Structure 1
Amino acid sequence: MQGRFLPALLAVLATAASAQVPPPEGETDAFAQAMDSVLAEAGEATPLLRCTALFRAFRLYAGADSEIGGIAAEHETDLATTAAVVWQDETGTPDLARAFEAIVPMMAEATELYLARMAENAEPEGNVLDPALEAELARCDALHGGIAEGG
């Protein structure tokens, strides 16, 4: 199964990676450094894990029972599964369960960074999104769309 989808996934990732070389405009250096540190071992799965964490943060913030939370949960699941497959292929991990064991802690830490940022954003005006998060959400939605179409 993996070999059938991997070339399309890697093409989508290459496009995403080239579009995400600089941190999103407006992202603080501290946030970017923290995210880089959390995802330092993610390799080619980095954009997938970052987007998984963003959608997971939205699901947790909005609640899985909300419409936004439900959509975020679907995106989170698709991206996490794809990240595990990419990480498994890149590292030669023998099975998918071990790949998930390796990536889940990174994704969880990245999620915590997003949740803290969303809570900080919500304090002054009640909006969890800042311009950089809006841009990243759009990129992550496009990455998810590319995977959904390619898989």
Structure 2
Amino acid sequence: MATATHYLEVNAPAAECYRWWRPLTHLPQILDDVESVEPKDGSADVTHWVVDGPLGKKIEWDAKIVDEETDRKIAWKSLEESNNHVETGGAVRFDDHGGKTGVEVSLHVETPAGALGDLGAKLFADPQKKIEKALQEFKQLMESGPVR
């Protein structure tokens, strides 16, 4: 299992940070390997993820928001019935410090054995470095001006 957690301060209000994260559809902007995250069947809580893997392979799965507190946290987990062979999930927490926000992201991935597991292992190699880079990009995005 690969896990990563990172925390940093962002010069933006917690509500603004939360609004950016809430649909999860913006994640391809900060996570290089994530090609798309789209709502599934019109649901705001279920998304379909497509991630670029090595050798042009793609890994796909569906995930559901399993815990949420407006302006404070969002947690999601892959759905078993999406038959993705990858168990993954994550959470983001927003600590309101006035005009600044402490943002903590945690991700975990468990891949199966065999060829698909090897593909997943390559894809999710060094998750700590990836999440640190993603949060730094999120910080720059939020601090550069109005965010959509």
Q: TM-score, normalised by structure 2?
A: 0.31
Q: Which of the pair is proportionally richer in helix?
A: 1
Which structure's residues are more often strand, by fraction? 2
